[in-house]
Amino acid sequence: MATLNFLTGNAGKLAEAQTLLSPLGWEIQSFEIDGEIPDVIEPQSDNLTNVALAKIAQGVELLASQNRLEESLLVEDSGLFIDALPEFPGVYSAQVLQSIGCDGILRLLDAERSAHFLTVAVLWTGEVVEVFIGRCDGQIAMESRGDGGFGYDPIFIPLAGDDDRTFAEMTHEEKSACSHRGRALRALYDYLNENGA
């Protein structure tokens, strides 16, 4: 089984990537140095792609410092975008979740509840950098529901679902089938296949 290093401090992202890519023959392992996930500085930016590119640049430097430059490395940056609150929380999704949480988002909204998630996944192949983007449209629920998933999952209902369950009420497989991350990682998988990785 081929191995892909994933540099992330978010255990939920790692678990989703493993659920999606392991059955396809890719072992996704947490990128660690001396048993620790290295800290990565996320720049202030109004753009998820810039943040993800800054993360891969630091990740590749770390690979180089370990003489592991020929290994592959994945990073990604994701955000929730709520139409009624333009660009919010967007690139500030992590800080907003920490400060006001899902309940704070629910308090800010009235009838207009459409939203989408975006994921920008960036892969270092050992030679070049490739970018994969996934989007999932949906709406913000009226209340938090479900114990699964992470982050904003209890308040996000994907449009592609055939009912009104939130991501947090779905299995990993159900979420990945329609999620932003699932779409980005399937594009990444297709790229790896087409390029004989």
Residues that bind ligand ITT (CB under 6 A): 8-10, 13, 77-79, 93-94, 97, 149-153, 167, 179, 181
Tokens of 153: 């999952």
Name, in order, each residue with C-beta under 8 angstroms of 182's C-beta and a sequence gap of 6 or more: 16, 20, 134, 175, 176
180 with 78: CB under 8 angstroms? yes
Nearest distance from residue 194's CB to ligand ITT, in Å? 26
Among 34, 39, 77, 137, which one carries the catalytic annotation? 77
Closer CB to ligand ITT, residue 140 or residue 192? 140
67 CB-near residues (< 8 Å, 6+ apart): none
Q: How far is the CB of 196 from ligand ITT (least distance, A)?
A: 28
Tokens 């023959």 label which residue?
A: 25
Choice between 181 and 183, CB closer to ligand ITT:
181
77 catalytic per annotation? yes
- Dist. CA 51–CA 61, nearest whole Å: 16
- Secondary element (H or E) of residue 176: helix 172-178
Q: What is the DSSP letter of 160?
A: T
**Shortest-Cβ-distance residue relative to ligand ITT:** 151
Beta partners for 33?
36
Closer Cβ to ligand ITT, 103 or 193, answer by number: 103
- Nearest distance, CB of residue 76 and ligand ITT, angstroms: 6
Of 184 and 192, nearer to ligand ITT (C-beta) is: 184
Catalytic machinery residues: 77
